[in-house]
Amino acid sequence: MTVTGTTRAKPPLFCPRTIAILGVGVVAVLFLFSRPAAGAEVDLHMTLMGQGYQTRTADGDLIDRRRLIQWVDLRAQRLWGQDGLSLASSFRLQFDMGQGDELNSFGDEMAELMLLQLRWHRRASRLAVSFGRILHFDELDFLAYDGLRVDYQFPHNFSLQLLAGFCQRDRAYLAGELLQLNGEDERTEPAPMVGASFLFQGPILWAGLSYRRVVLWAEDWPLEEELAGAWASARLWQRRLGLDLGAVFDLGKDQWDRLRAETWLRLFGPLDHVRLESGFLRSRPRFAMSSIFHFFQAQPFDEVRTGLRWQPRNALFAAPLSLRLVFTNRRYGSAGDSGDGAGQMANGLDFEGRVPWGRRAHASVNMGYEDGSGGRRWLLAACLRTGLPLPSLWLDTRAVLHSFVDPVQERQQALSVGGSASLSWRFAPSKALVAMAHLNGNRFHPFQLRLLLVLDLAFQFGGSGVFP
């Protein structure tokens, strides 16, 4: 793994933003023991993850990295005894130890409030109102913002969503920036946002229209992002035929950002277990330089996929047998585009297989091959998941072979060999401990090791106290 970045001075631990976030956490804890929570139903889910691994800098130096991450998720229903009033929060704490702090890949904050949403909705009412830090996902993109969301249900399965607030742009989330306006990745000022969606949800058809506009004032002049999107999904012939369509248009740049179409068909008679699949995607890459997953091709690309899946039903096994084969053709650039990447093409073939092995084990195999733009590469991975003699113990093992050839840089080719093993212990309902070790190497990086330890806990609070 190669990580590049600049080193910034580390801020004090108790900066104003951190104090504010910790204050919200204290309020949430006090809430659990306050009168409003007396009649509430509360779920508390805590996950503690410890990481230890080595990362290689752009200069070729190995840095030992140790990190401790804590997630606290809270869900509360029937606040103040009201059936329609609920609270949801998600809080993340991170502690870096050792030389890994120098890379500063997670920004300046060691605490992050990811979700804090107060929602009111009665079953008999068509109106639902949410307030706070809200996570929203639709055809346009993933969005996190501080503000208000209003949902109204019309007759005949139609509904309306209205969004208003300030986008949060200071942190990479889900391996990507929350919002990017013309490459302004380093700015942390809130950006005003408004949006709306009109939806239809029927028994066999789902469809929607979405609109969003975001404005960021940078040095007294605005950067705007204005997007419109549409999507539709249908399940026909007793769900034997599936159709999915989606499109996003950038109104500010007057161009299509994404077009997608997918379909699948489950055959009849003796071939009832066979499903044919095909899909098309046209997209423009969006860059997130804080992510370790970089896409170096700036040209838009068209991707066509065709494949088939075979999945017979067998009641004798807990894990179903499944085989899937997919062919992919990807072309970079389109008519009117120019640049080094225009006109390049890549073809790929992927195979996935899953075979049950008794009631407490199954094996899987993944193979992939791609040749064209970006070079030639292939991957072979074999996995085995098995239950140990104790019912609550599971062992997962994985072996990987990966080869790549870069057609541009000389001698940039290597065969990587890797393997991993993890042990999962579910010692109580909704409580588990997972330990994992991952090792791989090639001629560029002979030895790379990563250790992972996760403690996952969940609690529920009711009128009689804590119960599993």
Nearest-CA neighbor of 118 among 231, 5, 52, 24?
Answer: 24
Q: Where are the beta strands (DSSP E) in 333-374?
A: 345-356, 361-372
pTM for this entry = 0.74
| Integer Cα distance of 184 and 175 in angstroms | 17
Backbone angles phi, psi at 380, to 5 degrees: -135, 125
Joined together, the tokens standing for residue 267 give 């055959």
Other Cβ atoms less than 10 A from the Cβ of 87: the count is 20
| CA-to-CA dists, residue 287 to 117, 179, 281, 298, angstroms | 29, 10, 18, 9
Task: Give the H/E segment covering residue 56.
Answer: strand 41-57
CA gap 306, 328 in Å, rounded: 7
Give, for all 468 residues of the chain, the pLDDT tens digit. 333 333 333 334 444 444 445 555 555 555 555 555 556 788 888 888 887 766 666 566 767 777 788 888 888 888 877 788 899 988 888 877 655 444 444 444 467 778 889 999 877 789 999 999 888 888 988 788 889 999 999 999 999 999 999 876 544 333 233 344 444 444 456 678 899 999 999 999 999 999 999 887 655 555 678 899 999 999 999 899 999 999 999 998 898 989 999 999 999 888 888 999 999 999 876 544 433 334 445 568 899 999 999 988 664 444 567 899 999 998 877 544 545 545 688 899 999 999 887 778 889 999 999 988 768 889 999 999 999 887 789 999 999 999 988 766 666 788 899 999 999 998 887 788 999 998 888 887 777 788 888 888 776 555 444 433
Please name which of 11, 31, 9, 30 lies closest in space to residue 19, comparing C-alpha atoms: 11
CA distance 454 to 70: 10
Distance in angstroms (rounded) separating the CA atoms of residues 177 and 100:
22
Task: Please say whether the dihedral angle defined by the alpha carbons of residues 171, 176, 182 and 185, taken in this order, is positive or negative.
Answer: positive
Rounded Cα distance between 279 and 69, Å, is 38
The full set of domain ranges for the chain reads 2-114+252-467
* 3-state DSSP assignment of residue 81: helix
Cβ contacts of 253 within 8 Å, gap of 6 or more: none
User: What per-residue confidence (pLDDT) applies to 170?
Assistant: 40
Buried b (16+ CB within 10 A) or exposed e, 6-19: eeeeeeeeeeebbe
Per the DSSP assignment, residues forming a β-bridge with 216 are 223
Work out the number of other CB atoms within 10 angstroms of the CB of residue 260: 17
Cβ-based neighbour number of residue 307 at 10 Å: 19
Q: What is the CA radius of gyration of the chain?
A: 25
Give the angle 289-406-404 at the CA atoms, nearest 5°: 90
Q: DSSP assignment of 246-302, as one string? A: EEEEETTTTEEEEEEEEEEEE--GGGTTEEEEEEEEEE-----TTSS------S-EE
232: helix, coil or strand?
strand
Q: How far is residue 437's CA from residue 423's CA, in Å, rounded to a whole number? A: 9
| CA separation, residue 339 to residues 63, 285, 332 (Å) | 37, 15, 10
What pLDDT was estimated at residue 15?
44
Structure tokens of 102? 């120098």
Nearest CA to 365 out of 344, 387, 384, 381 is that of 381
Structural class in CATH, domain 2-114+252-467? mainly beta
| C-beta neighbour count of 75 within 10 angstroms | 15
Residues near 359 by Cβ (< 8 Å), separated by ≥ 6?
Answer: 317, 318
> What is the rounded CA–CA span in Å between residue 328 and residue 383?
24
Q: Can you tell me the distance from the alpha carbon of 302 to that of 260, in angstroms, rounded to the nearest whole number? A: 10
The token pair at 272 is: 């009832």
